[in-house]
Amino acid sequence: MKTTLTSVRSIAALGAALSLGACSADQLNITNPNTPTVAAAAADPQALQLQATGLLRQLRGARGGFMSSTGIFGRESYNYTPQEGRNTSGFLIGISGQNRLDPAGFAVGNWAAQYGNLRDIFNLKNAATASSSLSAEQKSAVQGFAKTLEGLELLYVISTRDTLGAVVEIKQNASDLAAFVSRDSTYKYILATLDDGAANLAAGGSAFPFTIHAGFAGFNTPSTFRLFNRAIAARAAAYYATSGGGAAAWQRALTALTASFLNTAATTRAQLDVGPMHVYSAATGDANNPLNVVTATDIYAHGSFQTDAQNKASGQPDDRYTTKIGARPTRNAPQGLGIPSSLGFNIYPALTSSIPIIRNEELILLRAEALLATADKAGAIALINQIRVNSGGLAPSTLTAASSDADVLTEILYNKRYSLMLEGHRWIDMRRYGRLNQLPLDITTGVNVHFVARVMPIPQAECLVRVNKPAPIAGPGC
pLDDT at 37 exceeding the cut of 70? no
Task: Give start and end residues of each alpha helix (H) in 280-376.
Answer: 304-308, 319-324, 360-373
Mean pLDDT confidence for 304-321 = 97
- Residue 299, H or E segment: strand 299-301
* Angle (CA) 97 101 106, round 5°: 125
Residue 46 clears pLDDT 90, i.e. is over it: no
DSSP string, 448-465: T-----SSPPPPHHHHHT
* Amino acid letter for position 219: F
What region does 359 belong to: left with phi over 0, alpha with psi -120 to 50, or beta?
beta
Q: How many percent of the chain have pLDDT more than 70?
A: 91
Identity of the residue numbered 268: T
As a whole number, mean pLDDT of residues 143-170 equals: 97
Pairing of strands 166-167, 77-79: unpaired
> Which among 236, 271, 184 is positioned nearest to 428, based on CA atoms?
236
User: CA distances (Å), 230 to each of 33, 50, 77, in order?
Assistant: 36, 25, 30
pLDDT of residue 402: 97
Beta strands in 332-385 (DSSP E): 341-345, 355-356
Q: Which residue has the higher pLDDT, 28 or 457?
A: 457
C-alpha distances in Å from residue 462, one per residue of 7, 370, 426, 474, 477: 9, 36, 27, 9, 11
Helix axes 136-161, 183-202, angle to 10 degrees: 160
Burial class for 188, CB neighbours closer than 10 Å (0-12, 13-18, 19+): middle
> Is 17 a residue whose pLDDT tops 50?
no
**Residues 6 or more apart whose Cβ sits within 8 Å of residue 102:** 90, 94, 95, 457
Q: Residue 467's pLDDT is what?
A: 87
pLDDT of residue 476: 77
CA distance linking residue 183 with residue 201, whole number of Å: 27
What integer best gives the mean pLDDT of the chain? 91
Task: Of 410, 478, 459, 450, give the one whose Cα is nearest residue 75.
Answer: 450
What average pLDDT does range 410-438 have in this prediction?
A: 98
| pLDDT tens profile 249-289 | 999 999 999 999 999 999 999 999 999 999 999 999 899 99
Q: How far apart are CA 145 and CA 125, in angstroms?
A: 9
Q: What average pLDDT does range 454-460 have in this prediction?
A: 95
- Between 198 and 44, the more confident residue is 198
Identify the helix (H) or strand (E) that includes residue 49. Answer: helix 45-61
Distances (CA, A) of 286 to 60, 109, 281: 11, 22, 6
Write down the pLDDT at residue 185. 97
pLDDT at residue 1 in the model = 41
Helix (H, G, I), strand (E, B) or coil at 317: strand
Bridge partners of 327? 343
Instruction: Please report which confidence band the pLDDT of residue 477 belongs to, taking 50, 70 and 90 as the band edges.
Output: confident
Distance CA 4, CA 16 (A): 15
Full DSSP string of 128-175: HHH-SSS-HHHHHHHHHHHHHHHHHHHHHHHHHHGGG-EE----SSTT
Confidence band for 42, pLDDT divided at 50, 70 and 90: low
pLDDT at 41: 54
* C-alpha span between 475 and 13 (Å, rounded): 12
The answer to whether residue 373 scores a pLDDT higher than 50 is: yes
Beta-carbon contacts of 379 under 8 Å, excluding residues fewer than 6 positions away, are 368, 371
Gap between the Cα atoms of 83 and 402, Å rounded: 53
CA dist., res. 164 & res. 457, Å (int):
8
pLDDT confidence of residue 96: 82
Distance of CA 209 to the CA centre of its chain: 27
- Tell me how far apart the alpha carbons of residues 70 and 426 are, in angstroms, rounded to a whole number: 8
Whether 8 has a pLDDT exceeding 50, the answer reads no
User: How confident is the model over 434-455, as a mean pLDDT?
Assistant: 95
Q: How far apart are CA 29 and CA 8, in angstroms?
A: 15
